[in-house]
Amino acid sequence: MVAPIQVLGADGSTGPAFHLRGSDVSYVLRVTDHGHVEHVHFGAVLADLTELADLQPLLRQHPAQNEGVNSPDDPSYWLDRQTLEWSGYGRGDYRLPPIEVRRHDGGLVTDFRFQSFALRDGTVACADGLPTAIGDAENASTLILTLVDADLMLELYYTVFVEANVIAKRVVLTNTAAQAVRIPRLMSQQVDLIDRGYEVITLNGAWIAEAHPHRSPVAPGITLNSSTTGFSSNRHNPGVLLVAPDTGENHGEAYGFNLVYSGNHVTAIELTQRGLLRVQSGINPVGFEWTLHAGERFETPQAVLSFSAQGLNGLSANFHRFVEGHIVRGPWARRARPVLLNNWEATNFTFTHRKLVKMARQAKSLGVELFVLDDGWFAGRSDDHAGLGDYSVDTDKLPRGLSGLSADVRALGLDFGLWVEPESVNPDSELYRAHPDWVLRTAEREPLLGRHQLILDLTRPEVRDYVVGQVGTVLDAADVSYVKWDANRTFADIASPTCPAGEVLHRYQLGLYEVLRRIFEPRPHILLESCASGGNRFDLGMLCFSPQIWASDCTDPIERLTIQGGLSYFYPPSTMGAHVTASPSEQTLRATPLSTRFNVAAFGVLGYELDPEELSASERTEIRSQIAFYKQHRELCQFGALLRADQVQPDRVTLTRLNAAGESALVGAFQTRAIAAQPPEQLEIPRLDPAARYRVTAVPHTLEIRGFGRLINRLSPVPIRDGGVVQSVVNRHYRMPAVVQEYRGSGAALSRLRLIPQFDGTGADANTRILGDFGSTLYLIEKLDSAPAITGGGDER
């Protein structure tokens, strides 16, 4: 095996150079003869360091008049023109510095120079409890560079995750001086690339509209992707992509950056007039200032970087492998996730033991495996004004407590899951009345409320102990096997008696990670799904504790295509909770077919969030077969490789899941808007074995009679008035089966499969697909031993 980290010049003959090699990615850095760490290469894999013809200073040239400064004995050495892995302030690099230091004497200048390096097998965990990616000597290797500037020591950690093609970077700063220094800025990583007209893609959003991708050219100056809400946020996910202008889903160069952190973050991209592109990521300096006392060290969160020359799908494949292999851990890593029913959208806060058990019984009959009780189970919680912070059960709703409910649910053959929101407290709660000082607040102001609640001060050990104790007791008493951990307000009044204000948010994150570790490490059987008003904290930090995250409170499948699609650039579908809910959507009022709601949720971890009692008999039958299908193909749905198709038409979305052996695939073809006078449609089924034979079948589903309006009279023996009673009765009991579609052909032929036509205003027969607005089809592709040349159509049954 080729060493994942190659070192050149370790004997001191030259400044050493380091080659971190993934299966398809190389990352090269070197120490200049002035001791700065220079970035040399991040891109296609190199067999050997010697492939880089010139490891000499890359960008040396004499500074233009008045433009820069250099060292008197080496006029061509000019920091502002170097591609650097680390930099400082006040020594001639005028780009954004990755570090700012305020020394006890007021000094601001920093200039870190290389001192030594070390190699380690596997990964090196953070000492202070920040989560980091995991790996062992088989799949990961770590380089540690030690740099020194006067009485500060800086260690740059680089871990290469070979198969995932990910380089993880973080830094540790140690104060070796006798006095404290203040650190208002300390990035996790910096890399200087040479610009090639790159464009930046960020995931922006809001509540119920998370992770909308936006792509724009990198503008000269500084572009920031930042969160200041205290969460990694639904506004700007920490994941950032840099792509060549012609990069699409399946071709072109793509760089990706993300952070293993759940709090305020920033990625800064600085494009200079001379075509250098600096990318930094780390804790957002807004509101941050850390005092590093003599002898103390500060560890940054881990930043992760990847590259692919195979377009965005190639890059996502790297990140997905990374998340599933090195971020998600414990017994739930790569383990099949249960199909759940959650009561939230069905009941909100209003339920009884009887109602819940009835829902659970019906859910069981549909094939559901896990029943989840959401918000509203504790005393005072008849709406969102009261009760958070207290863990006593509302005995009016649940006279036999959670244990009684859990026992009844389990007796049905279902697992029992529970919602908790342990980071917040309502002022109207026993906890707050007893400990008004346990919340984040300044001394001089009344704290602001968000969803009628305040944030518990997790920087305080006694608050952490309370949360760990209370939540643990509840989980054990009710035999809980799944937890939905919610957090529903953003941060304000950031202050605590435990530490200076600039440290509160980071110490809060450390406190949160400690609490999660203490609650869930001793209970590895519990599947944790984190949530923050939906996807307000969808990040690699939370994924180190919760294998899945509730992607959004928006369950409208059309909006979900954008949300799940956006998240999928960085996070695999196995991390995304995705539920089928009632139609019209409670968030958008859009009415969508049941099949489309399932087809979108099947591209994530499937759940239902509706009242089974309200379903018609025909809907029940449909859901039963949806769940049966999902269970049968669960491995493909949860862990199959995801491929997004380039969106050639704005109203079409096509997604594919492939199994590892290339023997089966699922393709979801979604029509977000019907158009008249359809052109012939071709389904692109990527990456099949060109020579092998496959069968493609549309997963059976049914169509609502109501959707045909008065047109149904062309088929019906009795007149059916649109909106009338007959239509409503028929609609509840009968659904029209969608046309049967089966196609066969070689992988090569199926890469462009011509589908039978859609209904186009006239006629409809056994060869006509009927989709309409928001219609969709799931195609199952299975490898055959042998098959005839391509045939197809709706008449093949």
Residues 738-777 that bind ligand DGJ (CB under 6 A): none
From 455-463, 530-538, 540-548, 778-786, give the range in contact with ligand DGJ by CB under 6 A: 530-538
From 17-25, 529-537, 650-658, 762-770, give the range in contact with ligand DGJ by CB under 6 A: 529-537
Sequence-ordered strand ranges (E) for 520-663: 527-530, 548-550, 576-581, 605-609, 641-644, 652-658
Please identify which residue in 111, 155, 324, 374 interacts with ligand DGJ, judged by CB under 6 A: 374
Smaller CB separation from ligand DGJ, 587 or 671? 587
Q: If binding is defined by CB under 6 A, does position 533 make contact with ligand DGJ?
A: yes
At 140 the three-state DSSP class reads: strand
Work out how close the CB of 361 gets to ligand DGJ at its nearest, in angstroms, rounded to a whole number: 22
Task: Compose the 415-454 pattern: x for residues touching ligand DGJ by CB under 6 A, - for all others.
Answer: ----x-----------------------------------
DSSP 533: T
Q: If binding is defined by CB under 6 A, does position 550 make contact with ligand DGJ?
A: yes
Q: If binding is defined by CB under 6 A, does position 482 make contact with ligand DGJ?
A: no
Which structure tokens are listed for 539?
């990040």
Active site residue 486: yes
Which residues lie closer than 8 Å to 240 by C-beta, 6 or more apart?
200, 201, 202, 225, 256, 257, 258, 267, 269, 279, 281
In the block, tokens 């073809």 appear at: 669
Which structure tokens are listed for 120?
């380690």
Residue nearest to ligand DGJ (CB): 375
Q: Is 137 exposed, middle or buried (0-12, 13-18, 19+ CB in 10 A)?
A: exposed
Beta bridge partners of 268: 224, 280
Give how far the C-alpha of residue 149 lies from the chain's centroid of Cα atoms, to the nearest Å: 37
Among 238, 242, 237, 197, residue whose Cα is nearest residue 42:
242
Work out how close the CB of 207 gets to ligand DGJ at its nearest, in angstroms, rounded to a whole number: 9
Number of residues that bind ligand DGJ (CB under 6 A): 11
Instruction: Yes or no: say if 194 and 520 are a contact pair by the CB < 8 Å rule.
Output: no
Q: If binding is defined by CB under 6 A, does position 488 make contact with ligand DGJ?
A: yes
At 132 the three-state DSSP class reads: coil
Beta bridge partners of 712: none
Catalytic hit among 24, 374, 408, 486: 486
Work out how close the CB of 206 gets to ligand DGJ at its nearest, in angstroms, rounded to a whole number: 13
Please identify which residue in 531, 605, 665, 683 interacts with ligand DGJ, judged by CB under 6 A: 531
Work out how close the CB of 488 gets to ligand DGJ at its nearest, in angstroms, rounded to a whole number: 5
Task: Compose the 329-348 pattern: x for residues touching ligand DGJ by CB under 6 A, - for all others.
Answer: ---------------x----
- What's the rounded Cα separation, in Å, for the pair 664 and 751? 14
Smaller CB separation from ligand DGJ, 483 or 655? 483
Q: If binding is defined by CB under 6 A, does position 486 make contact with ligand DGJ?
A: yes
Query: How many alpha carbons lie under 13 Å from residue 105 in its C-beta half-sphere?
Result: 5
Which structure tokens are listed for 92?
């001639």
From 58-66, 441-449, 526-534, 781-789, give the range in contact with ligand DGJ by CB under 6 A: 526-534
Smaller CB separation from ligand DGJ, 93 or 529? 529
- What's the rounded Cα separation, in Å, for the pair 300 and 156? 10
From 31-39, 457-465, 528-536, 590-598, give the range in contact with ligand DGJ by CB under 6 A: 528-536
Active site residue 651: no
Q: If binding is defined by CB under 6 A, does position 485 make contact with ligand DGJ?
A: no
Task: Compose the 402-421 pattern: x for residues touching ligand DGJ by CB under 6 A, - for all others.
Answer: -----------------x--
Which residues lie closer than 8 Å to 616 by C-beta, 6 or more apart?
731, 732, 733
Compute the Cα dihedral for 473, 479, 483, 489 and give only its sign: negative
Please list the active-site residues: 486, 553
- Contact residues for ligand DGJ, defined by CB under 6 A: 344, 374-375, 419, 486, 488, 531, 533-534, 550, 553
